[in-house]
Structure 1
């Protein structure tokens, strides 16, 4: 299947170190070679880079690895196709507008059946189950909330939508509107939070290290979420099957328990 990478921070931060290791998995250290993409929120705007070539050898990926774009919310994806041909239309992440905001979505898994799209506003361009599911989620959100709700209202409803789709197959995903980042685990998803005191991190996929104490301030907080851990000398937390987290300002939030 595919792999996911996300970042949520309290200050704009670049993802070059994490993407360096992650992109190796697109055809070098792993077999996810059917395209890749990455989205960076910058204020109300969003930069989106997509390529149907493997991320390990893509010239666009090489540019992203070397260009320190700073963002508070990032979603990246490397693809191992299960549904839909290889091409830009089927390359994650997908982007749509809702309530005057960009929404970004990427999926790892395989949905055996898909819900009907009842509205005309959100329609898939490609042929993946992933984009169809994204359009359905936004359709449901638009019907439930006429105006943009607070994230605390969004969270339980997105969790409910995720649970409905998870009944149809494997549904690991990341979703962001640039204010927060939602991550849902079906099989494999891990996260860590980097904050003071910062230490040295070493990549799993390349012999590359960075001392974060030299490139951060004591107030910085950065959450990194990935299908599989990207470093071998940090403590990653494995999310549980069916668990959904909302990351805000670099910190994970869980649904309130009754």
Structure 2
């Protein structure tokens, strides 16, 4: 399956530590070699880097790894192609505008016989089931809330309904953000960690790299990192229960509507955080 990575925090934070381990899964510590991408929100703008080459060997990934872009919301993806050729237009994350905001989306899974009708406002450029699902989500939201972005609880309920509908066609793990909120839906496998004081050291599972967050953070800093599987091997990650849509804001989970319960904690295997996460 593809690999997802998200970060949501209450102060602008770079994702260099997490990304160092994450990019290794694209052809070095795992077999996901069909492209990668990452998007950083900066105010109302978004920086998006995409490359159809394996992330472990990508010069663009090396640039991102050495470029400490600080953001409140980040979404990254490493692709293992199931639908659509290995091309730039099929590389996640995908970007569209709705209600005067950019939306970023990345998907992990395989949707079978998925062919929803689209109004024409949002159309896929590539040939992936993922981009088609993203267009369907935005198409539905635009039609349901024509006056503009709804209240967070209404938005969460609509997204949860769409996630269940689309998820009936196959695995539908995804990350979605408009720069204010980051939504994480688990169909089969997705976990997260929230780093807050008191901070500690973290060691990557895919690279021999350790960071002491006590030296990099302030007492009020808070960062949530979401990943397909834990990125570190010395921290407790929490697995999201399949079927749940978890909302993140200001570096923590926020209960909206139906309680976003979670399953058991992972044993000590993975973490990620800080003004250098």
The bucket for the TM-score relative to the shorter chain is: over 0.9
Question: Matches of residues 1-258 of structure 1 in structure 2 within 5 Å?
Answer: 1-146=1-146, 147-257=148-258
Distance across 2 between alignment mates of 1:100 and 1:118 = 20
Distance (Å, rounded) in 1 between the aligned partners of 2:121 and 2:3? 28
1:188-214 Cα shifts (integer Å, max 9, x gaps): 101000000111000000110001111
**Alpha-carbon distance between aligned partners in 2 of 1:47 and 1:229, rounded to the nearest angstrom:** 25
Secondary structure, counterpart of 1:110 in structure 2: coil
Determine helix, strand or coil for the equivalent of 1:56: helix
- Structure 2 segments unaligned to the other structure (5+ residues): 260-277
| Deviation digits for residues 156-180 of structure 1 (CA, Å, limit 9, x no counterpart) | 1111100100101110000000001
How far is 1:115 from its partner? 3.9
| 8 A Cα contact 1:23 1:61, kept in partner | yes
Give the Cα–Cα distance (whole angstroms) in 2 for the partners of residues 197 and 66 of structure 1: 27
Q: What is the distance in 2 between the residues matched to 1:150 and 1:23?
A: 35
CA contact (8 A) 1:117 1:139 kept: no
Residue-by-residue CA offset, 1:46-82 (whole Å, 9 max, x unaligned): 0000000000000000000011000000000000000
Q: 2:192–2:237: 8 Å Cα contact kept in structure 1?
A: yes
Q: What per-residue deviation string (whole Å, max 9, x for no partner) do you get for residues 70-121 of structure 1?
A: 0000000000000000010000000000000000000000000224233111
* Unaligned ranges ≥5, structure 1: none
2: CA distance, partners of 1:131 / 1:5: 17
Offset at residue 257 of structure 1 (A): 4.1
Distance in 2 separating the partners of 1:205 and 1:118: 40
Q: Distance in 2 between matches of 1:139 and 1:232?
A: 40
Number of residues of Structure 1 aligned to a counterpart in Structure 2: 258
**What's the offset of the Cα at 1:127?**
0.2
Is the CA contact (8 Å cut-off) linking 1:185 and 1:243 kept in structure 2? yes
RMSD: 1.0
What is the distance in 1 between the residues matched to 2:161 and 2:250?
A: 23
- Deviation string 1:22-49 (CA, Å, 9 cap, x unpaired) is 0000000000110000000000000000
Q: Is the CA contact 1:117–1:135 (under 8 Å) kept in the aligned structure 2?
A: no
Report which stretch shifted further, 169-178 or 151-160.
151-160
User: CA separation in 1, counterparts of 2:179 and 2:117?
Assistant: 25
